[in-house]
Structure 1
Amino acid sequence: MPETTWWKRGIVYQIYPRSFQDSNGDGIGDLNGIRQRLDYLAWLGADAIWISPIYPSPMADFGYDVADYCGIDPIFGTLEDFDRLIEEAHARGLKLILDFVPNHTSDQHPWFQESRSSRTNPKRDWYIWRDAKLDGSPPNNWISNFGGSAWEWDEATAQYYYHAFLKEQPDLNWRNAEVRRAMYDALRFWLDRGVDGFRVDVIWHLIKDAEFRDNPPNPAFQASQAEINRFIQVYSADQPEVHEVVGEMRGVLEEYRERVLIGEIYLPLERLVTYYGKDLSGAHLPFNFQLIQTAWNAQKIAALINEYEAALPEGGWPNWVLGNHDQPRIGARIGPQQARVAAMLLLTLRGTPTMYYGDEIGIGKVEIPPEAAQDPWERNEPGLGLGRDPERTPMHWDGSAQGGFTSGKPWLPLDPHFRSRHAEGLRNDTGSILTLYRRLIELRRQHPALSVGAYAQVKTEGDILAYERQHGSERLLVALNLGHEPQTLPLPAGASGRLMLSTLPDRNEEPIGAQVVLRADEGIIIALGV
């Protein structure tokens, strides 16, 4: 793929649709709400929007339990609303990426209703059914990602079915060729409507061990961890045959022009990069969540970047993520000052960055009272802090009631600080984190060194993370102080330059000599040799 390919140069902005903008007062965001905010997204500088699931669903897991792959849930609108959204997004130069959830359906999906109706139904093998052990217990020790056994007994047909997540989310049998054809047809349904790509949910789960062997115990498991960590998922996920499926999905997208396949994959780097596929025939962008999982430490992050760059297959394009709908917000993890430094990191590393809605206005940790909790994971394993509601709270658009998100009662509480942390106010504040995000995005667009240039680490000590981005004769130095004390960084031998941007608003463009002092919690970009 050439450097000009949109998903290489562009910035992806994830929208959790329930929480972005409500247009009808029911307290839940919708497609028309997203459409109303397209001008904001274009102003910010996003190149593509990724929308979490909007398909018809009983909402047991808020849309990740799909009851129809070729429709829109009435909560979010209609197919006509979707068509209008994609038309208006494209008119503004915005691409649209849909979430695709192929590992499992809702238990209300017509396919599963047929499958569970009898052992002889033609769709029985579309899902994973197994006999009980002789003592009546589940077929093996596999654990649901949301806690408890991953096997649910079906009294009517006297077998267990497998669900990697909720019991309301039975797993499809991707070893069945008819399942594959049906799912690829669903992809084509949306591609024909103009969708620019897909983020594929839990793509590494699609194929399970053919013999359904027990997973081995995890010797490092602790009682404070989620139950899924009790065993190592050797046989329930990341099977060798999954790469054939990913390659077939990629083949469907190759029938269309410049579409992108993104895979959600929580795996170590050496296994993650295998999802690029042989000769790059797999996912264009296997999601790299290492910045979410690594301690906020300069030396550890520098080592991570080097390890990732070294592990990429030849021609593989990197990508970076700071947060999403399943992980605590970056502001909640590292605080508001370092969140500004994190923004510079995300938008200056080599590869495609994915932003998460609300990070650009500095939403941090939002406390959710127990009586307001919505996430089924929190309800299944209470007290472990696993609930994902805090990162799914509504966007703050202005200082009016409910932050301009809705005229009704929001489905989740807003950040109580929303009146001082909303897009309208921050947009007009030259020192705000929103202004910083926009300036970083502008720089990235103006300077090929930041969007498609090479990466080279600068050796440092202490709390400074530094690297060069290079393209042609242009050399840009990015220096990030991940600590809370001032740090001095010598410039590369014989180099001098000019400060282009600081994460702190009171530092303007200035010449830089043989060294530069970074204040506490500051990141800077320096143009070298000018």
Structure 2
Amino acid sequence: MNKDWWKKSVVYQIYPQSFKDSNGDGIGDLKGIISKLPYLADLGIDVIWLNPIYLSPLIDNGYDIADYYQINPIYGTLDDFKELLKKAHQLGIKIIMDLVVNHTSDQHSWFQNSKKSRLGKYADFYIWKDPQSNGAPPNNWGSTFGGSAWEYVPERNQYYLHLFAKQQPDLNWENPEVRAAIYKMMRHWFKIGIDGFRMDVISLISKNQQYPDAPSTLPYTKNYYVGSSNGPRVHEFLHEMNQEVLKHYPSLTVGETANTNSEQALLYTDPKRQELNMVFHFDHMHLDYGHFGKFSDIRFKMSDLRQVLSEWQLKLEKGWNSLYWSNHDQPRAVTRFGDDQKYRVESAKMLGTLLHMMKGTPYIFQGEELGMRNVPFKTLSQYQDIETINMIKTLRAAKMSETYIKRVVFLKSRDNARTPMPWDDTAKAGFTKGTPWLDFSPDNSVINVVQALADKNSVYYHYQKLIALRKKYPVIIDGNYALLNPNDSSIYSYTRTNKNEKLIVICSFSRFNVNFNVPTTLVKEKSQLLLSNYTDSPEELNSKIVMRPYEALIYHQNP
């Protein structure tokens, strides 16, 4: 197997709880995923990334792991997982798991032992600090989900660090025994047959051992970045992980690296450094942030989006990009970056076109291929996500109006991505025979798999064609990226060029007809239309194109 196989792959992210329920308990499971493998094979994807399926109390939907070796019974058994691996591999689909090793659940046996005493093997498996002289926490860091990042434990008369929920204590990566235990666990899953890992908040594993106070100018829930993001030993730890585990398997590795810029990303992804294949950055996710961070009603500017995506395309020439619009932590792309009303289908196809023709490995989040949009829940009580629930409290405490709160929660809650997958237009959406763990989207009657498969012009078939193009044209994998008309106010256009071919991608972000002038040098060459999201786009590239609302065009040339 080519060790760089992931460069030619398209990854499909499955949020197991919400994908397909096989036993009627309202929670998606492994057998449900197995039953839908043919659907994914027809779409053309190469890899499935599974959100955590390990034993967990589900305080943070599985990102609080109580046992790295056990499958959570709500999803099935280890035998079910082995069957999923076998059947996926038979269809040519690889499986990567979520690796959550910045923290564990407070129910993990390591932590249960650690909190009992300052002595013994597990005493230093987590980050413990003495109180300040007045009993206050060691520093002023806040946690992602609100409140202090420190929790006091009387048995040790110490605080432990948790950058996320208090039930998610941070592991102490300075302790070589912690690292050895993690590498042993990773080898265990590789031996079972998995094909790689998506690494949760991996840029946070190394802490500045001074644990400095954060300046008051930083947002409280993220001020820990000052001493924990891209920390002093993070690259040493990941290189060690690579040498101990990763280099022995032809695996896909992608790190979630919050608060990491394109220069820092090169340190993680340059193959010579032997750390990770690629990282998820967040620069394009921050373009619509406001006073309360992501919970904002600010709309992104296309010029900002073009600048950010272009920077990452150009800077990571030596490394590799992961390409994504949405995931389990983000709202639906078509609501955020497109038009989820009149031009939902057109803008969903346009966003797919823009991303999939770039250099890097594209990630599709379940339902994105249907053009799913944010869920219009009627009441705030329907939201279940811990981040959203805490933010509603914060916004109310800040005396924001209920209308504003409903608006920003609709725009940004993580539950937008987590509503059950709509397989058909029946009352239970073909997802379950029971009551779903999270309410269905009211859109399921019109946006669902059966509808998409019956409509030859659906978003699904457009994604299928985009994936097929990546398999056919090497320029999409290896071509250099260059912006066209970088100052255009409505059109994002670029070329991909290698020795043998050129790709021209033109995408409109406008809901109106707009003129686009094609550079003369490109019009001189004979071109062929490979794909459009309208049925009657010009087959040849002209010097002036009237771009219709959210139109997307891909032309190919053999200069």
Q: 1:389 aligns with which of 415, 431, 435?
A: 415
Q: Does 1:135 align with 2:131?
A: no
Matching residue of 1:366: 375
From 315, 320, 338, the equivalent of 1:317 is: 320
Partner SS for 2:71: coil
* Aligned residue identity for 2:69: C
User: Counterpart in 1 of 2:235?
Assistant: 243
SS at match of 1:455: strand
State the secondary structure of the residue aligned to 1:71.
Answer: strand
1:280 to 1:483, Cα distance in 2 relative to 1, 3 A = farther
How far apart are the structure 2 equivalents of 1:339 and 1:391?
15
Pairing partner for 1:521 from 538, 541, 550: 550
Q: Is the CA contact (8 Å cut-off) linking 2:267 and 2:273 kept in structure 1?
A: no
Structure 2 equivalent of residue 413 of structure 1? 439
- Alignment-mate amino acid for residue 501 of structure 1: L
Is 2:460 aligned against 1:434?
Answer: yes
Partners of 1:246 and 1:434 in 2: CA distance: 37
The correspondence of residues 217-236 of structure 1 with structure 2, limited to 5 A, is 217-218=216-217, 221=219, 227-229=220-222, 231=223, 233-236=225-228
Q: What secondary structure does 2:363 align onto?
A: strand
Percent identity for Structure 1 against Structure 2: 40
2:92 alignment partner in structure 1:
93
Superposed CA offset, 1:149-176 (max 9, x none): 0111112221111111111111110000
The residue matched to 2:68 in structure 1 has which SS? Answer: coil
Q: Secondary structure at the match of 2:253?
A: strand
1:72-94 CA distance string (max 9 Å, x none): 00001111000000010000000
In structure 2, how many angstroms separate the alpha carbons of the residues matched to 1:418 and 1:458? 38
Cα separation, 2, equivalents of 1:361 and 1:321: 15
Matched residues in 2 for 1:425 and 1:387: separation?
26
1:489 Cα deviation after fit: 2.7
Counterpart amino acid of residue 333 in structure 2: I
Q: Which residue of 1 aligns with 2:387?
A: 377
Partner SS state of residue 174, structure 1: coil
Write the distance in 1 (CA, Å) between the matches of 2:199 and 2:208: 20
Residue 399 in 1 paired to residue 445 in 2? no
Partner residue in 2 for 1:224: none
- The answer for unaligned runs of 5 or more in structure 1 is 222-226
Secondary structure in 2 matching 1:124:
coil
Change (3 A) 1:165 1:172: same
Q: By how many angstroms is 1:278 displaced?
A: 7.9
CA contact (8 A) 1:247 1:277 kept: no
Number of equivalent positions: 520
| Counterpart for residue 452 of structure 1 | 478
Which residue identity lines up with residue 518 of structure 1 in the other structure? M
Q: What one-letter code is carried by the residue in structure 2 that aligns with 1:198?
A: F
Match of 2:160 in 1: 161
Q: Which SS does the other structure have where 2:429 is aligned?
A: helix
**Segment drifting more, 361-370 vs 205-214:** 361-370
Distance 1:495 1:298, change over 3 A: farther
Equivalent pair of 2:16/2:50 in contact (CA under 8 Å):
yes
Q: Distance in 1 between matches of 2:537 and 2:348?
A: 20
Q: Using the TM superposition, name which of 511-520 and 120-129 deviates more.
A: 511-520
Letter in 2 for 1:293: H
CA distance 1:517–1:509, change in 2 (3 Å) = closer
Question: What TM-score results when the alignment is normalised by the length of structure 1?
Answer: 0.94
Q: Is the 8 A contact 2:270 2:318 kept in 1?
A: no
Q: Which amino acid aligns with 1:465?
A: Y
> Where does residue 251 of structure 2 map in the other structure?
259
Which residue of the partner structure matches residue 274 of structure 1? Answer: 267
Q: Which amino acid aligns with 1:330?
A: A
Partner residue of 1:500 out of 518, 523, 530: 530
Distance 1:467 1:278 in 2: 26
The aligned amino acid for 2:24 is G
Q: Distance in 1 between matches of 2:246 and 2:257?
A: 21
SS of alignment partner, residue 124 of structure 2: helix
Task: Provide the C-alpha distance between the structure 2 equivalents of 1:282 and 1:83, rounded to a whole number of angstroms.
Answer: 28
Q: Residue deviations 1:52-103, cap 9 Å, x none?
A: 0000011111111101111100001111000000010000000100001001
Q: Which residue in the other structure is 1:287 paired with?
A: 280
1:107 Cα deviation (Å)? 0.6
| Counterpart in the other structure of 1:122 | 121
1:528 offset after TM fit, Å? Answer: 3.1
Q: Secondary structure at the match of 2:330?
A: coil
Give the corresponding residue for 2:310.
306
Deviation digits for residues 459-503 of structure 1, max 9, x if unmatched? 252211111122332222110111122233333322342322112
Q: What amino acid is the match of 2:48? A: I
Check conservation: 1:288, 1:321, Cα contact below 8 A.
no
Structure 1 residues 443 and 53: CA distance shift in structure 2, 3 A: same
Indicate conservation of the 8 Å contact 1:14/1:356, yes or no: yes
Any residues of structure 2 matched to 1:107-118 within 5 Å, and which?
A: 107-118=106-117
Change (3 A) 1:370 1:303: closer
Do residues 342 (structure 1) and 319 (structure 2) align? Answer: no
SS in 2 for 1:70: strand
Alpha-carbon distance between aligned partners in 2 of 1:377 and 1:422, rounded to the nearest angstrom: 27
Deviation string, structure 1 residues 88-123 (Cα, Å, up to 9, x no partner): 000000010000100111111011111011121321
1:487 equivalent in structure 2: 514
In 2, the alpha carbon distance for the partners of 1:434 and 1:292 equals: 24
1:357 aligned residue: 366
Shift of 1:424: 1.5
Which whole-Å CA distance do the structure 2 matches of 1:144 and 1:239 have between them?
17
Deviation at 1:286, TM superposition (A): 1.2
Which piece of structure 1 moves more, 32-41 or 328-337? 328-337
Correspondence 1:468 to 2:471: no
Q: How far off is 1:200 after superposition?
A: 0.5
Deviations 1:21-42 (A, max 9, x none): 0011000001111111111111
Contact 2:375 2:443 in 1 (8 A): no
Find the aligned partners of 2:323 and 2:287 in 1 and give their Cα distance. Answer: 12
Q: 1:148 to 1:421 in 2, by over 3 A?
A: same
SS state at 1:403 partner = coil
Q: What is the DSSP-based 3-state SS (H/G/I as helix, E as strand, rest coil) of the residue aligned with 1:215?
A: coil
5+ long unaligned stretches in structure 2: 289-299, 396-408
**Secondary structure at 1:86's aligned position in 2?**
helix
Counterpart of 1:193 in structure 2 is 192
Q: Secondary structure at the match of 1:520?
A: coil
> 2:406 is matched with which residue?
none
Distance 2:386 2:543 in 1: 55
Deviation, 1:136, is 0.7
Residue number in structure 2 paired with 1:209: 208
